[in-house]
């Protein structure tokens, strides 16, 4: 049995943050003349960086955004996190059941926001400061850089890492990095449709409940 490292995406995998994030995104878009529902924003931008969303919207709608828009997003979202953020059901139990020595996070969100999310939901003990974000690499997901960097920081080759991702953007990045990818659909509003998308992007398996994850990981490690 080979040794493997496990890398988790944060938003939509460890914490149920994407509805909160999309709420703030839609508010900021509306304040700058772009009307979009939370459902459309989720379908179009989940897994992408905020900067990528603003760039895409700017080109499509001809909108311009204040220089402090990203800072405003962080301030508003962190305040909302403190009031409403919850971990994804079953995450803590799954992490404990897998019994790994430690895990890493690789995210398209700012590292400060990821650290806050882990703190608020009580997940910091599982990850410590092992957070790699788009800020630490040249290119965000869907490019593979963030997973390659996370693997290097943990002392593993990407091919010896298992990644847990919920978005096509993230699965694509992990697959391109050469990692083994498990796709989580439990926080997606259309899990069955998302399952097909994640498999097409490179996920080896998909699952919708965190209670299944320990068995998937242990089965994979047994076969490795």
Can you tell me the distance from the alpha carbon of 141 to that of 49, in angstroms, rounded to the nearest whole number?
8
The two tokens of residue 181 are: 């990818």
Pick the CATH number of 5-16+86-223 from 3.40.50.1860, 3.40.640.10, 3.40.50.1000, 3.30.365.10: 3.40.50.1000
pTM score, two decimals? 0.89
Sign of CA dihedral 107, 121, 190, 53: negative
Over its length of 224 residues, how does the chain's per-residue pLDDT go in tens digits? 456 899 999 999 999 998 999 999 999 999 999 999 998 998 888 888 899 999 999 999 999 999 999 999 999 999 999 999 999 999 999 999 998 667 999 999 999 999 999 999 999 999 999 999 999 999 999 999 999 999 999 999 999 999 999 999 999 999 999 999 999 999 999 999 999 999 999 999 999 999 999 999 988 876 66
Can you tell me the distance from the alpha carbon of 109 to that of 50, in angstroms, rounded to the nearest whole number?
8
Can you tell me the distance from the alpha carbon of 32 to that of 22, in angstroms, rounded to the nearest whole number?
15
Pick the CATH number of 18-84 from 1.10.20.140, 2.60.120.10, 1.10.150.240, 3.30.70.100: 1.10.150.240
Query: What is the arrangement of strands in the sheet containing 205-207, beginning at the earlier edge strand?
Result: 131-133, 103-107, 5-8, 161-165, 180-184, 205-207
**β-sheet bridge partners, residue 87:** 15
Going from N- to C-terminal start, the domains of the chain cover 5-16+86-223, 18-84
């Amino acid at each position: 049995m080979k040794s493997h490292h496990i890398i988790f995406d944060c938003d939509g995998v460890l914490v149920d943050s994407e509805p909160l994030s999309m709420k703030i995104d839609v508010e900021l878009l509306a304040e700058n003349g772009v009307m979009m529902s939370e459902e459309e924003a989720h379908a179009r931008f989940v897994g992408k960086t905020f900067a990528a969303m603003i760039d895409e919207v700017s080109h499509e709608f001809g909108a311009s955004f204040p220089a402090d828009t990203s800072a405003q997003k962080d301030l508003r979202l962190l305040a909302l996190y403190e009031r409403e953020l919850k971990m994804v059901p079953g995450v803590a139990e799954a992490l404990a059941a897998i019994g790994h020595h430690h895990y890493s996070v690789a995210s398209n969100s700012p590292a400060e926001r990821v650290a806050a999310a882990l703190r608020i939901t009580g997940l910091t003990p599982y990850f410590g400061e092992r957070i790699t974000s788009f800020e630490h690499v040249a290119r965000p997901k869907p490019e593979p850089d963030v997973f390659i960097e996370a693997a290097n920081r943990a002392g593993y080759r990407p091919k010896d890492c298992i990644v847990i991702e919920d978005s096509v953007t993230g699965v694509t990045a992990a697959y391109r990095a050469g990692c083994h990818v498990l796709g989580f659909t439990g926080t997606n509003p259309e899990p069955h449709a998302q399952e097909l998308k994640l498999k097409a992007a490179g996920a080896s398996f998909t699952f919708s409940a965190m209670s299944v994850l320990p068995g998937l990981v242990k089965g994979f490690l047994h076969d490795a």
